[in-house]
Chain A
Amino acid sequence: MEFLIASAIGVMTAAGIYLVLRLRTFPVILGISLLTYAVNVFLFTSGRVVAGAPPVLRDDINTYTDPLPQALVLTAIVISFGMTAVVVMIGLGAFLGSDDDHVDDQPEGKV
């Protein structure tokens, strides 16, 4: 199970980095989203992974998974939505303003 999770993190990171290195805004934004998933899962696993032991207290249960990374990741997910929205807006504004959605500064006169 650990191998599957770690490899999923690895695959998402690799794909995320590759897309971030693309030249247009949209794939870069998707790449950042993939990296967000990878980072969130990575942070989540810092509490180590346990199946079937949610941190909701019950009288007859004594084993719970680590709740702290979950709380931190929860807000991270919501904030990452806000950040994605801002980045999309900036990319959109740049495209609408200049008719160009390149990520890198373009040499003078090429646009």
Chain B
Amino acid sequence: MSLFFIVALPFFGALLPGLMNPAGRSACAGVTFTVTLAAFVGLLTNLPAILGGDIVTARVDWMPALGLNFTLMLDSLGFFFALLILGIGLLIIAYARQYLSHKDNMGEFFTYLLLFQGAMVGIVLSDNILLLLIFWELTSLSSFLLIGYWKHLPEGRQGARMALTVTGMGGLAMIGGMLILGQIVGSYDLSVILQNRELIQADPLYVPALILILLGCFTKSAQFPFHFWLPHAMAAPTPVSAYLHSATMVKAGIFLMARMWPVLSGTTEWFLIVTTAGLITMVLGAVIALFKHDLKALLAFSTVSHLGLITMLLGTGTAFGAMAAVFHILNHATFKAALFMSAGIIDHEAHTRDIRRLGGLRTLMPVTFVIVMLAALSMAGIPLLNGFLSKEMMLEEANHTVLFNSPWLVPVLATVGSLFSAAYCFRLIGHVFFGPVRDDYPAKPHDPPAGMWLPPALLIIPVIVIGVAPFVAEPFVKLVTASVLGNAAEMPSAHLKIWHGLVPALYMSIIAVLGGLAMLVIFKPALRVWDAVPRPEAKTIFDAVVAAIVRLSQALILPLHNGAFTRYAAVGTVAIVVAGYYAWTTGTVGAPMHEMQKADPVLISGWGMLVAATIGMVFLHRNRFLSLILIGIVGLMVSIGFVFLSAPDLAMTQFTVEVVTIILLLLALNFLPNHTPIESTVLRRMRDVAVAVAGGLASFALAYYYMLRDPVSTPISEFHLANSYKGGGGTNVVNVILVDFRGFDTFGEIIVLSIAALLIYALTEALLSGPVRMRLLNRKPDQPQAGGVHPMMMVVLTRGMMPVVMMVGFYIFLSGHNEPGGGFIAGLIVSIGVVMQYMASGFSWTSARLRYPYHGVIGAGVLVAGFTGIGSWFVDKPFLTSDFTYVRIPPFQEFELATAALFDVGVFLSVVGAVMLSLESFSRLARRKDAVESEHPMDIDPSRDDRPRQTVTEGA
């Protein structure tokens, strides 16, 4: 099966459990199992190629310019991890089906599980490190969901947050490291990077890259000092712990260290950092694990310890160490997953995981006892079980490792670690299963149904088989080791076997096992000593650090971001002016290139009215109605300015927009106070005047200076003028630019306008469905109301004008391509015509005659424009390529048919819909309880018999 399918299957499969939820819990688990099985079988179809030593690849260039390609690669290392992820995944799914109770939402659980599984498979199959980073972050996110699956448990939520924070920060560091690595090599493809060992290790940025990447690996694989998150993540349901913390998530860091081994390892820095961290983690984890009473906490710290062991082996940088690491990854995944699942079984049946409350389960749960005993003895390093073999190899490797110039340090610490490791394994067996049968278990323990013990039991098979006959695993381990080593080291000649002779490692092993037994004997006094010694509590430190960071950001942000928007505006204006002034004084301003043009008297009078109205607004802005009239004058003068300055299209647009804006503001003023009170002090107003004058002078200077100078480089406008008719078939260049040259811009803009209108509609709906609704309904008008709301004169006039307005709109639309006009302007004109009907005859009368809702008009507009654009695909042209032709239907003149006109129809519809929906939303707010809505078009109608009804109560 293609590698794409193997990665994609879990992600697409993640949609299924949620859908299967109503079909029952077994269906849910079944579909998840099937999806995983499909991916598993797909993986196995690649086995022959892997065994043949080939590397399977699949490649799609995604963003080649960024070096980000969707490249997958399957070599024996990736295959090994994918096998663990999917294989153990299958067992976990079967186990979780039994483990989760009726209260747990199974669809949700399996969705998260499949997302996680897909992300993990993605990591181990990625050939592009940027892609790998994406999957890496996805595992952090999906494991957050899994760890916090029991949302009602505070420990679950805190543990999930802590895991996300720690692994997320590590992921960020790793992004930095990977980018440096990519820069050094000049490629983000792993297969290329792995060939460049000398280049990378000689680079001055090697050490920063190494440290950043190791931060990512150490946080993910819970290496000291980041080991603290893993035990807290144990608040998750046991299937999650078993999956994430035995075979998958925590192994991701190990995987990456193994993956990068050929290029990063072998240097002093690598050796010192990785070996030291691994060694500390191994010993520390083992010691803490011995004194944990919670079964899962014990296993969590033992996982930390074993991850440290593997890390240390990778750190030594020898081929033998790498082989031992690969072998131990395999062995650890088998016995640890079995142990986690067994811990879940005990918790499930005895209703407690506290070792102090257990004991004597040997006879009550014989099946579980056998499973746990074999797995734990393997973990302790007892011969004929697989844990013994890799532990021997570890001790052998430790024996040859010289750290800090001391040949004793590593062997001694490794023996101590193994000793405590053996001790907690013996404690796990002894304190849970041996001893007298008690009568105070929270629930009567018994063996679970086969569905629950079968998955861990299956894992015991490799534990024994490899333990008894290690040569079975040897070819596979060597195959995987070969791809870890790459071409950086020779394959070690050593073989996997039980008996190596009387080597030091054997003596170390014997010391560890005997010492472990001795520790169990003196456990009680040792526990008293342990409890008496003060220790730093990682969670307290973590919480304190997080709280300190929160306080720091608040101290930085809150004074700056205090909710005073006017202050932001003032600071922003001053900053822009200062930056502009700096640019002005440091740059060069050339001499004026042309004379100032003579001003027309019309222009001077228009300018006078504009300035007077603007200044008037400043002084009279407290009277809101008056300032509305003044802003209308300003807008009108701007439109006239556009007419004068050769921009007829702009003038028409500005003029029509002005009308609808004023109507909109009038509608708003209906609800707002009519007067702005004086609140700011004189001093503050002086300050504002100063800021405003500075800003005004700056924009004046900028506009004045550049209008007298030509552009630095030739503008592209000549192209538009030259091609408007030839290429676009229209003589109105502005319109041709809008619907043809820059049609994609226009398409985006009508969408923005439509979204704005829908937003207004949504806000109105939100207001009308909240407590504001009653207030609006009971509102008393604050102004005296005119007697008739729908005067006959106005109704008659607007009705008469309607067809004329429509005709003008139609004309402007059609002529738009060659004369000033077009879809935007026509849309605005038609909207004004319709708004006039609303104003004259009222909301309900007009709405009742509305055939299409405005949302539909907006949608139709965007769709028409979009489909016009898509149409060009059918003739193999890019989106929105236009075409035109001239036709002649007698007796009319020859006229033009252009696809751009169809696009303009879309623009027209969107504009009409958006403007009308906005205004309609505002007027819907204006409905009141005491105002009877008339269904008649006008108050007085001679053709009607009934007396005119007073539709609105008189205001004060």
Chain A residues near B (Cβ < 8 Å): 1-27, 29-30, 33-34, 37-38, 40-42, 44-58, 64-68, 70-71, 73-75, 77-86, 88-93, 95-97, 101, 103-105
Contact = CB atoms under 8 A, between A and B. Distances in A.
Contact of B631 (A3, A4, A34, A44): A34
Contact of B648 (A23, A26, A54): A54
Nearest to A49: B645
B650 A70 contact: yes
Q: Which of A5, A6, A56 has the most CB of B within 10 A?
A: A56
B627 interface: yes
Interface in B436-478: none
B818 to A, nearest CB: 7
Given A68-B715, A68-B717, A71-B737, A2 B704 contact: yes
B665 A88 contact: yes
Contacts of A47: 715, 717
B819 interface: yes
Interface of B: 562-567, 569-570, 573, 596-600, 603-604, 607, 610-611, 614-615, 617-618, 621, 624, 627-628, 631, 634-635, 638, 641-642, 644-650, 653-654, 657, 660-661, 664-665, 668-669, 671-673, 676-677, 679-680, 688-689, 691-693, 695-704, 706-708, 710-711, 715-717, 720-721, 724-725, 731-734, 737-738, 742, 745-746, 749, 752-753, 756-757, 759-760, 763-764, 766-767, 770-772, 775-776, 818-820, 824, 828, 911, 914-915, 918, 921-922, 925
A86 B621 contact: no
Contacts of B720: 67-68
A44 B642 contact: yes
A6 B707 contact: yes
Q: Would you call the interface of chain A mostly helix, strand, loop, or mixed?
A: helix
B756 A86 contact: yes
Nearest to B759: A86
A52 to B, nearest CB: 6
A8 B634 CA distance: 10
B634 A12 contact: yes
A30 B632 CA distance: 11
29 contacts: A4-B604, A5-B641, A6-B703, A10-B700, A10-B701, A11-B696, A14-B696, A18-B689, A18-B691, A19-B617, A24-B677, A38-B699, A41-B638, A44-B650, A45-B703, A47-B717, A49-B597, A51-B597, A51-B646, A55-B734, A71-B734, A71-B738, A75-B749, A78-B749, A82-B752, A86-B759, A92-B922, A93-B767, A96-B925
* Residue from the set B734, B776, B915 with the largest chain A CB neighbour count within 10 Å: B734
B818 A1 contact: no
B634 A34 contact: yes
A17 B394 CA distance: 73
Contacts of A29: 665
A47 B698 CA distance: 19
Contacts of B569: 17, 20-21
A5 to B, nearest CB: 7
Contact of B763 (A20, A58, A81, A89): A89
Given A70-B647, A104-B566, A1 B657 contact: no
Q: Is the interface of B mostly helix, strand, loop or mixed?
A: helix
A17 B573 contact: yes
A14 B695 contact: yes
B566 A88 contact: no
A68 B922 contact: no
B291 to A, nearest CB: 50
A51 to B, nearest CB: 6
Given A41-B641, A101-B673, A103-B566, A66 B715 contact: yes
Contacts of B635: 37
Contacts of A83: 756
B703 A30 contact: no
B617 A77 contact: no
4 A-B pairs closest in CB distance:
A14-B696, A10-B700, A105-B563, A82-B756
Contacts of A23: 566, 679-680
A54 B725 contact: no
A33 to B, nearest CB: 6
A96 B541 CA distance: 47
B624 A1 contact: no
A21 B566 contact: yes
Given A4-B604, A8-B610, A70 B649 contact: yes
Contacts of B650: 44, 70, 73-74, 77
A7 B607 CA distance: 9
A15 B661 contact: no
A34 B617 contact: yes
Max chain B C-beta neighbours (<10 A), residue from A2, A73, A90, A101? A2
A88 B599 contact: no
A17 B692 contact: yes
Contact of A97 (B598, B604, B770, B824): B770
B647 A65 contact: yes
Among B688, B710, B717, B776, find the residue whose CB has the most chain A CB atoms closer than 10 A. Answer: B717
Contact of A8 (B607, B660, B749): B607
Contacts of A14: 692-693, 695-697
A1 B661 contact: no
B627 A27 contact: yes
A97 B767 contact: yes
A77 B731 contact: no
A97 to B, nearest CB: 6
B699 A1 contact: no
A53 to B, nearest CB: 5
Nearest to B756: A82
Given A3-B596, A74-B649, A75-B746, 6 more contacts: A4-B604, A15-B696, A17-B691, A57-B731, A82-B756, A84-B664
Contact of B617 (A5, A10, A30): A30
Most buried by B among A11, A48, A73: A11
B921 A89 contact: yes
Contacts of A78: 653, 657, 749, 753, 824, 828, 911
Contacts of B653: 74, 77-78
B824 A46 contact: no
Contact of A26 (B610, B624, B696): B624
Nearest to B608: A4
